Amino acid sequence: MNRGIDLQGSFIESLMDLGLPPDIAKAIWMPLPMILVILGATVGVLVVVWLERKISAAAQQRIGPEYAGPLGVLQPVADGIKLVFKEDIIPAKADTVLFTLGPILVVIPVFLSYLVVPFGQNLVITDLNIGIFIWIALSSIAPIGLLMSGYASNNKYALLGGLRAAAQSISYEIPLALSVLAVVMMSNSLSTIDIVSQQSGYGILGWNIWRQPVGFLVFWIAALAECERLPFDLPEAEEELVAGYQTEYTGMKFGLFYLGSYVNLVLSALIVAILYLGGWEFPVPLSQLADWLGVSESNPWLQVVTASLGITMTLLKAYFLVFIAVLLRWTVPRVRIDQLLNLGWKFLLPVSLVNLLLTAALKLAFPFAFGG
CA distance from start to end of the chain: 14
The average pLDDT across 142-156 equals 88
Range of 18-27, 134-143, 198-207 with top mean pLDDT: 134-143
- Which of 25-39, 123-137, 309-323 shows the lowest mean pLDDT across its residues? 25-39
pLDDT number for residue 7 = 58
pTM as predicted: 0.88
CA distances from 89 to 4, 65, 93, 105, 135 (A): 47, 29, 12, 19, 33
Position 219 confidence tier, pLDDT thresholds 50, 70, 90: very high
pLDDT number for residue 1 = 39
- Whether the predicted pLDDT of 249 surpasses 60: yes
- Supply angle C-alpha 277, 278, 282, rounded to 5: 110
The average pLDDT across 275-279 equals 90
pLDDT number for residue 66 = 86
d(CA 194, CA 3) in angstroms, rounded, equals: 6
* 40 exposure class (CB count in 10 Å sphere: 0-12, 13-18, 19+): middle
Closest CA to 228 of 285, 172, 307, 294: 172
